[in-house]
Amino acid sequence: MEMTHQVKPELLTSGVPATPSEILSAKISAMPNFVIDCFNTCLVEQYHNGYATIKQDVVEPMITKKCKEFNVPFSLTFLDIEPFYRNKGWNVQYTRKSNGAGRPVGKFEFAAKQPK
């Protein structure tokens, strides 16, 4: 499984402001492939009529398990996947609410973008 964690050094040292597409490209190249694979697995399981809801307490343990397998420290940035999927034809909304016991419950809501 290929993992790339390198950001182009010139992006960080050129003294020139980065474009949104350069930042997205840097984020994509820094994201371990297994994170996207975990979200894709959940999407396949949850997808129905153009929509899917992925609960954070389902996908996060999957990612944590893969982190251990690949000896990669878990990072909350691994849950910042919205721009990747928006770029691929999804509307993605992350929401987080309290479950009443003080622990926040997050979910990612995916909807296939409608053709224009």
Taking the domains of the chain in order of start, what are their residue ranges?
32-112
Across 6-20, 30-44, 84-98, least confident range: 6-20
Check: CB of residue 94 under 8 Å from CB of residue 108.
yes
Put simply, whether the predicted model's pTM sits higher than 0.75 gets the answer: yes
Model confidence at 19, pLDDT cuts 50, 70, 90, reads confident
The domain 32-112 is placed in CATH, from the list 3.90.1150, 2.40.128, 3.30.505, 1.10.3120, at 3.90.1150
**What is the C-alpha separation between 34 and 66, in angstroms, rounded?**
7
Nearest 5°: the CA angle 94, 22, 37 is 45
Model confidence at 49, pLDDT cuts 50, 70, 90, reads very high
User: Alpha helix (H) ranges present in 8-116?
Assistant: 9-13, 20-30, 33-46, 56-70, 82-86
Q: Within its chain, how far is the Cα of 5 from the centroid?
A: 15
Mean pLDDT of 62-74: 96
pLDDT in tens, 21-39: 888 888 888 899 999 999 9
Check: CB of residue 6 under 8 Å from CB of residue 73.
no
